[in-house]
Amino acid sequence: MADLTSNFIGIKSPNPFWLASAPPTDKEYNVRRAFEAGWGGVVWKTLGEAGPPVVNVNGPRYGAIWGADRRLLGLNNIELITDRPLEVNLEEMTRVKKDYPDRALIASLMVPVNEESWKRILEAVAGTGCDGVELNFGCPHGMSERGMGSAVGQVPEYVGQVAEWCKTYTDLPVIVKLTPNITDIRKPAQAAKQSGADAVSLINTINSITSVNLDSFSPEPSVDGLGAHGGYCGPAVKPIALNMVAEIARDPATAGLPISGIGGVTTWRDAAEFMALGAGNVQVCTAAMTYGFKVVQEMISGLSQYMDEKGFASVDELVGRAVPQVVNWQDLNLNYIAKARIDQDACIKCGRCYAACEDTSHQAISMSPDRVFEVKDDECVACNLCVNVCPVEGCITMEQMAPGTVDPRTGKVVEKDYANWTTHPNNPGSCAAE
C-alpha cells in the first residue's frame, strides 16, 4: 500500500491531513478526539498575547450558504482568535503533544507587529514541545481592525519583517499563513520566502457577508440586530484556493517554497488536487465542522486507494504533478479543436443543453419534434456549457478532432498540436505573427 506518511518541512505526521487553526482545535478535548479519529496533525486555534482577554460574541457566530439539497457550501464566521487564557492553552498543548508524540502539533500565533510581542509569544510556546509555529496573517475580521491578521498579510513588507523576527527568536519551523484578501498572492509569499520562512499556508478565509435578513435588514449572522463582515470558507472557496496555491507553486520567485493547502478540502479528491498543484499537505476545517472528525478516515482511505491505483509509493510523488500543466492563457494551443457529443442512450430529454446553448451560447444544439437533441458541428465551439448544465454525468462529452480533419465550423484543417504556441504565427502575441 502507498505510504501516506508526511514529512512537511521536517514536521512528521502519519498522514498529510491536518486540522486547520479554527474552533475545532480550540481545546485539549477536541484535539484528543481529532487525533483518536486519525488526523495526522493539528494547528491549535490562534493564540494571542497574555493580558486583556479576547471577547467573542455570545450570539450567532456563523452564517451559511447552502446548495439546493441543504448541503453546506460556504460558512461565514465572525469568531475571533481563542478567548481562552494563554497559559491554559499552553498547558493543554503540552499535555497533548506528550501523549501524541507522533502527531504534528502546530501553534498558530497572532500578536501586534511589534518585535518584543513576537519574541514573548515565541518564548511562551517553545515549552509546549510543539513542532512548529504558524503566523496568522489571514483573519479578515475583528483582529484586522486591530492591526493584526489580514491587515498584516496584505502588506508584504510586514509579512517579511515579522517572519524575519520569528526566524530570529525560534528554532521551530515557521509557516506563514497568507490572506486571500489581496490582489496578488505571490507578493506576500515572496516576502515570506525572502525572509527565511520555512513554508506558507493558504488560503485563510475570504472577507464576506453571506446574506441579509430581509425582515430585520441585518447581515447574517445577526447579533442583537446588527451584523458584520466575516471570513468565508468551505467547499465554495476551493477554486480560489487552488488557483492561489498554483500561483505560488509556479512562480519562479517562490519555486521550492513548501505550501500547506487550505480551502474547502472535503474529500480525498480535494486533497489530491491541492497536492497535485504543489501543496505538501492540506489543512481542513469546514468539513470537520460539518461531518465530524471521523471524516478524515474517508480522506485517508480514498487517498491511499488513489495512490495505489496510480502507482505512487509516497505522497511526495503526487506533490506538484499538475504544476507544469498550469500555464498563462496565451500559452494555450489555439489549434486544439473539439466538438460536443451527446450519448442518446443516456439522454433523459430534459432539454437543458438545448436551452442553455440556444439562449446563451452558440445555437449549436438542435431539437427535433420528438425531443432528440443533436450537436451541430458547424456551430459548436466546444465551450463545454452543455456538459456543465446536463444533469446526467457522462451524457455529453467533448471529443477532440484529429489533426488533418476539417473543422466544419471554419472549413479549415485541424492542425497538429504545437509544442510552443507562443512562437506560432497564428498567435497574435508572438514575434512570428509580426
Q: Given 130, 139, 233, 357, which residue is catalytic?
A: 139
The gap from C-alpha 42 to its chain's centroid, in whole angstroms, comes to 17
CA–CA distance from 139 to each of 97, 120, 148, 190 (Å)?
26, 21, 8, 20
Q: Residue 112, exposed/middle/buried by CB under 10 A (0-12, 13-18, 19+)?
A: middle
Known active-site residue 139 = yes
Closest by alpha carbon to 104, among 196, 220, 199, 218? 199
Task: Please give the Cα distance from 164 to 174 (Å, whole number).
Answer: 10
CB contact set of 229 (below 8 Å; sequence gap of 6+): 78, 140, 141, 207, 208, 209, 219
The amino acid that residue 371 corresponds to is: R
CA–CA distance from 387 to each of 202, 269, 365, 398 (Å)?
31, 21, 12, 8
Task: Please give the Cα distance from 78 to 144 (Å, whole number).
Answer: 12
Buried b (16+ CB within 10 A) or exposed e, 389-427: bbeeeebbeeeebeeeeebebeeeebbeeeeebeebeeb
Task: Please give the Cα distance from 351 to 368 (Å, whole number).
Answer: 11
> Which amino acids are annotated catalytic?
139
